[in-house]
């Protein structure tokens, strides 16, 4: 058995030499995913105190507890952001450690100052979810259990870092949310207040999407690009649609293209495929398909029954 393991080890080491791009041996500056997700968990506790913490919070300990969390978040993010700046930005790849550290601290300070605004927006999202879902028992249930709220929270956190020019870390955060909720929101996407995702599984919202206030999106919706054949040449180009205020998009709809605008108050029906702008207060629906029913040969038909019908 030991001989077999030695053979495997030699083959694995040879593979490391042959494909160095998918390994980070000797790389001390690559960020650590588990530490980034640890910071995300602590941010969730700061944003929703008392919901996800391991200890009971009271008025006499909340100041100390929140302050301790913020300090831990500051340390984690400062270290990880410094690593990504050095690895993934031309400006800092050859800069001194002091310069990189100073910029990382500046980014984290700006980000932490945005937490009250993030909480303000999330408070409106929770209100939209509770008021918009008759199955919601309480706002506490929305916060504790709705995958759409978690995915939205992660996006609002990641979007702040994305706007501050932080590489990689925002995407690690949103892809983590994607993996646990089935909701894929790129950190570049801009979400307005009172944003409500109902059910959520299978939703995809692309990088350059813009969503206004009081938007409601159901499961299986795609806000995507018409084509990605241009690859990296399309970086920075508006490829995804704009959704204005008070728009509802029902399940399975696909809305594609950077020039596509779904104007205020529009309703996009389920399974619609939209590649052109929609005027305000307009309802879009896909033509109902023809349904066909076939009985097995050994089943007798009852009076009044039918084989085919169109709806």
pLDDT in tens, 212-234: 999 999 999 999 999 766 677 66
Per-residue confidence band for 145, with pLDDT thresholds at 50, 70 and 90: very high
Residue 244 exposure: Cα atoms within 13 Å on the Cβ side: 15
Q: How many structural domains are present in the chain?
A: 2
Q: Looking at the domain assignment, is residue 4 inside a domain?
A: no
pLDDT band (50, 70, 90) for residue 29: confident
Say if 6 falls within a structural domain. Answer: no
pLDDT at residue 299 in the model: 59
CATH number, position 116: 1.10.3130.10
In this predicted structure, the answer to whether residue 106 has a pLDDT above a threshold of 50 is: yes
Looking at beta carbons, which pairs linking 151-155 to residues 24 or more positions away fall under 8 Å?
A: 151/177, 151/178, 151/181, 151/183, 151/185, 151/197, 151/200, 151/203, 152/122, 152/125, 152/185, 152/191, 152/195, 152/197, 153/44, 153/47, 153/118, 153/122, 154/40, 154/185, 155/185, 155/187, 155/189, 155/191
- Tokens found for residue 234: 């399309």
Which two tokens mark 249?
Answer: 């998009």
- Taking only the tens place, the pLDDT of each residue in 10-28 is 999 999 999 999 999 988 8
- Quick one: average pLDDT of 78-96? 95
Residue 135 is part of which domain span? 26-182
Q: Rounded to whole angstroms, how far apart are CA atoms 193 and 121?
A: 6
Mean local confidence (pLDDT), 92-116: 97
Task: Say what percent of the chain tops pLDDT 90.
Answer: 85
Classify residue 65: in a domain, yes or no. Answer: yes
- Asked whether 171 and 155 are in contact (CB, 8 A), the reply is no
- Of the given ranges (50-64, 128-142, 210-224, 293-307), which has the lowest mean pLDDT? 293-307
Asked if residue 301 has pLDDT above 60, the reply is: no
Boundary-marking domain end, from 150, 182, 214: 182
Domain contains 5:
no
Indicate which CATH number applies to the domain containing 218.
2.160.10.10
230 or 194: whose pLDDT is higher?
A: 194
42 and 137, same domain (yes or no): yes
Region 225-249: what's the mean pLDDT? 86
292 and 274, same structural domain?
yes
């Amino acid at each position: 058995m030991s001989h077999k393991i030695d053979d495997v080890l030699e083959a694995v080491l040879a593979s490391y030499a042959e494909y160095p791009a998918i390994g980070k041996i000797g790389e001390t500056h690559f960020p650590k995913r588990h530490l980034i997700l640890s910071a995300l968990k602590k941010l969730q506790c700061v944003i929703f105190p008392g919901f996800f913490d391991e200890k009971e919070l009271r008025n006499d300990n909340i100041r100390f507890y929140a302050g301790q969390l913020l300090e831990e978040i500051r340390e984690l993010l400062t270290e990880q952001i410094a690593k990504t700046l050095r690895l993934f930005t031309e400006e800092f790849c050859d800069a001194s450690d002091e310069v990189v550290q100073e910029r990382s601290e500046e980014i984290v300070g700006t980000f932490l100052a945005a937490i009250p605004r993030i909480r303000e927006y999330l408070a409106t999202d929770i209100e939209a979810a509770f008021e918009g879902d008759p199955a919601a028992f309480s706002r506490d249930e929305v916060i504790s259990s709705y995958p759409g709220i978690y995915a939205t929270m992660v996006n609002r956190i990641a979007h702040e870092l994305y706007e501050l020019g932080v590489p990689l870390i925002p995407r690690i955060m949103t892809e983590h949310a994607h993996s646990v909720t089935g909701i894929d929101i790129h950190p570049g996407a801009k979400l307005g207040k009172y944003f409500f995702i109902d059910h959520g599984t299978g939703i995809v919202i692309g990088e350059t999407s813009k969503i206004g206030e009081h938007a409601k999106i159901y499961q299986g919706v795609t806000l995507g690009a018409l084509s990605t054949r241009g690859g990296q040449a399309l970086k920075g180009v508006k490829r995804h649609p704009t959704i204005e205020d008070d728009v509802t998009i029902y399940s399975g709809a696909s809305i594609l293209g950077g020039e596509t605008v779904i104007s205020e108050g529009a309703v996009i029906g389920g399974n619609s495929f939209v590649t052109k702008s929609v005027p305000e207060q307009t309802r879009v629906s896909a033509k109902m398909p023809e349904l066909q029913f076939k009985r097995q040969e050994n089943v007798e038909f009852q009076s009044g029954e039918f084989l085919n019908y169109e709806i």
